[in-house]
Amino acid sequence: MARVLEIRKNVLAKNDEIARENREFFRSRGLTALNFVSSPGAGKTSLLVRTINDMKTGVKFAVIEGDQQTDNDAKKIEQTGAPVIQINTVSSCHLDADMVKKSLGSLDMDGAKYLFIENVGNLVCPASYDLGEMMKVAVMSVTEGEDKPVKYPKMFRVSSALVITKTDLLPYLDFDVKMAVDYALKVNPAIRVFKVSVKNGDGLADWYKFLLTLSDAAGR
């Protein structure tokens, strides 16, 4: 086991080195790079599509899509008009900094203010891999259990924001929003929480305001 662990440590050290280069690259361009993490089906792609459509007047976005297979998500993003590149990780359960670095060359980021990186849907692996992002944004839907933050504490600890999605479904569920928020704050007292419905638009204004403050900070 020790040998496996040592190699794993080296893999992570190498990843962190490339992540630092990515971060420097993003910073030099005043780009707000966000790494979206969640379980599969939490609604990351829908959140990104609506966010881009609602904010795109005068603001440019670029998107990196990570999936084990298919370019379905990239196709959805394409319809917003934002430049997008799809990474298929095939056997890997997460994006890594090198995949992101390699894809940057093929992505039109001219004048872009935001780079949205949608990670593979997975609440374990992506927590360990820095991609060079400004922050990780965890996405969790009200159709999941309230206790996801305590069941996958590392993911919610390394995320700076949490977007709780699909709130339009709350009338049909027993989901306790306060309990979910309390669990998230328990593992990460500093996490910023947003409750949104991409379908009816509830709560999106606060989320967009938050994105604007991030971009102001990145542009300085």
**Contact residues for a copy of itself (CB under 8 A)?**
3-4, 7, 11, 39-42, 45, 67-70, 72, 91-93, 120-125, 140-141, 143-145, 147-148, 150-154, 166, 168-169, 172-173
Give the number of other Cβ atoms within 10 Å of residue 28's Cβ: 8
| Minimum distance of a copy of itself from residue 182's CB (angstroms) | 14
Question: Could you tell me the smallest distance in angstroms from the CB atom of residue 42 to a copy of itself?
Answer: 8
Q: How far is the CB of 3 from a copy of itself (least distance, A)?
A: 7
Which amino acid appears at position 49 of this protein? V
Structure tokens at 101: 């670095």
How remote is the C-alpha of 187 from its chain's centroid? 18
CB of 125 to a copy of itself, least distance (A): 6
Return the structure tokens found at 171: 């009338």
- Min separation Cβ 79 and a copy of itself, Å: 15
Which is closer to a copy of itself, CB of 70 or CB of 213? 70
Q: Which is nearer to a copy of itself, 33 or 196 (CB)?
A: 196
Residue closer to a copy of itself by CB (options 20, 151) is 151
Of 31 and 52, CB closest to a copy of itself: 52
Size of the chain in residues: 220
**Structural tokens at position 20:** 């630092």
Q: How many Å from the N-terminal Cα to the C-terminal Cα in the chain?
A: 46
Of residues 8 and 209, the one with the C-beta less far from a copy of itself: 8
Rounded CA-CA distance 15/77 in Å is 27
Q: Name the residue among 24, 103, 105 with its Cα closest to residue 64.
A: 103
